[in-house]
């Protein structure tokens, strides 16, 4: 068995294939966007098909005001998991930041289809869209 395969199996057993880098999550909690981007980017290079890591990168880039990079990583988050609720929520919020209500509403509609029962991601984006509309109406 190759070393790469052994590492992959160990990673699956340990749960790292579905969890973002702990250092990245800690940096996000501390709102240290530079450290979070560094840690999560490194993790994404090691696990190129991990939608959760890419979704955390979307969030981090969005929070740091780097919308073009958020949109790039959003595409990477949806490649392995087109129904990733968190990615749809975060990219919808990024579209609102970019004043693109129509795109945000597309992701809200996607979440409505994906969430067969009420889900937090749908409710959060729905609220953000409503707040955006209220601000725009003033």
Q: Look-up: residue for tokens 């070393």?
A: 3
Average pLDDT for residues 48-60, to the nearest whole number?
92
pLDDT for 116 equals 86
Over residues 74-127, the pLDDT tens digits come to 888 999 999 999 999 999 999 999 999 999 999 999 999 999 888 999 999 999
Percent of the chain with pLDDT over 70: 86
Over residues 103-117, the pLDDT tens digits come to 999 999 999 999 988
3-class DSSP state of 31: coil
Q: Taking all residues of the chain, what is their mean pLDDT, rounded to a whole number?
A: 86
Banded model confidence at residue 7, pLDDT cuts 50, 70, 90: very low
pLDDT for 14 equals 38
- Alpha-carbon torsion (50, 53, 58, 61), positive or negative: negative
8 Å CB contact between 99 and 113: no
CA pair distance 52, 16, nearest whole angstrom: 10
8 Å CB contact between 103 and 86: no
Percent of the chain with pLDDT over 90: 74
Burial 104-133 (b: 16+ CB within 10 A, else e): bbebbebbeebbeeeeebbebbbebbeebe
Which comes out higher in pLDDT, residue 4 or 30?
A: 30
pLDDT for 104 equals 98
pLDDT for 19 equals 56
């Amino acid at each position: 068995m190759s070393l790469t395969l052994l590492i992959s199996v160990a990673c699956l057993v340990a749960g790292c294939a579905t969890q973002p880098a702990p250092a990245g999550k800690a940096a996000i909690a501390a709102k240290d966007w530079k450290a979070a981007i560094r840690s999560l980017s490194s993790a994404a290079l090691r696990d190129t098909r991990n939608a959760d890591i890419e979704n955390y990168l979307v969030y981090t880039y969005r929070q740091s005001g780097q919308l073009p990079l958020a949109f790039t990583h959003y595409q990477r988050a949806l490649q392995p998991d087109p129904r990733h609720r968190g990615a749809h929520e975060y990219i919808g919020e990024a579209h609102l930041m970019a004043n693109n209500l129509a795109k945000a509403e597309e992701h809200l509609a996607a979440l409505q289809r994906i969430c067969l029962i009420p889900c937090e991601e749908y409710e959060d984006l729905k609220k953000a869209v409503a707040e955006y509309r209220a601000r725009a109406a003033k």
